[in-house]
Structure formats: structure tokens, C-alpha cells
Amino acid sequence: MATLKLGSTTVLTDTTLANAVQDNVTRLGTVTSGTYSASFGGDASRRTAKAWFQYNADTHVFTDSYNVSGYTDHGTGDFSILWDTNMADTSYCVLGSSEDDRCLSLNYRNQIYSDKCRFRTVHFNGNLYDQHLNCGIVFGDH
């Protein structure tokens, strides 16, 4: 535990600092020791991203991600991103982008599932294409 002392008197610990910071916003819980992992409720939950990813659809490697268990490669320019913790239903929002002036879009035939979302990536010539850089973020209810 990290502490700040004046002489022999401890005036600040990492837990009191963490709680003091929270008191200046909205305390989500009480820190006792170690790392505090918060879970949000109410409106805060609805305003927080439930998943995000940066994914290479050519090599099938995630640069980084949150709440993503994996991918399904369905074919050229056609893949799903699989959620680790499922969404509560299918009425959630996905925002995505792909590289250059190419397009990452929801797969119109398969749309959105609670455990995954299927995408298509289209080259500027109109053909499906395995884009290298695909990013997405998800808002909705768990």
C-alpha cells in the first residue's frame, strides 16, 4: 500500500485518495485495498461503451478490444465480432469505421444478435474486401 507521511504520521493512503477522488464525483463503492473495479448502474451504465475493438480482418488479429471473446470469419469482407458478455437484447447501437475511404457496415442480411454483430467491409470499388483496420464501439444494455 502506498502512503504519504508527515513525520511519523500517515496522512494519506492510496485507498483514502481513491475514495476521496470518488467523493468528488459519485462514489461507486468503497476501496479497501488493491485495485478497484467499478461497475456502473443507472444512467451511467447506458452512457458507457459495452464493447469496442480494433480488428484486422485480413490477419484476424485484434490490436486491442474490450468485452470481445473473438471473431467469426464468414468469408471475404464478411465477419462477426463476438461479445464476451452478451448484450441484453438486440436493440443496441454499433458505430464502426474502416480504413481509408472504405466502408465497415452492418451485414444487412444478418443484422445484430445479442452475442455478436456481423459486419461487411467494402472496398471503394464496391467489392467485399478483407480490410486491415476495422474499429467499432458498442452502446446499449447488458
Partner 1 sequence: MKIIYKTPENTVSVIGSSKEWTGTMEELAKKHVPPGLKYKIVEDSVIPSDRSFRNAWEVDEAILTDGVGT
Distance CA 136, CA 49 (A): 10
Distance CA 4, CA 12 (A): 5
Residues that bind partner 1 (CB under 8 A): 53, 58, 60, 62, 64-66, 68-76, 82, 84, 115-116, 130
Shorter beta-carbon distance to partner 1: residue 18 or 135: 135
CB 105, min distance to partner 1, A: 18
CB 25, min distance to partner 1, A: 27
Distance CA 96, CA 81 (A): 12
Distance CA 64, CA 134 (A): 11
Shorter beta-carbon distance to partner 1: residue 15 or 110: 110
CB 68, min distance to partner 1, A: 5
For residue 97, list its beta bridge partners.
Answer: 135
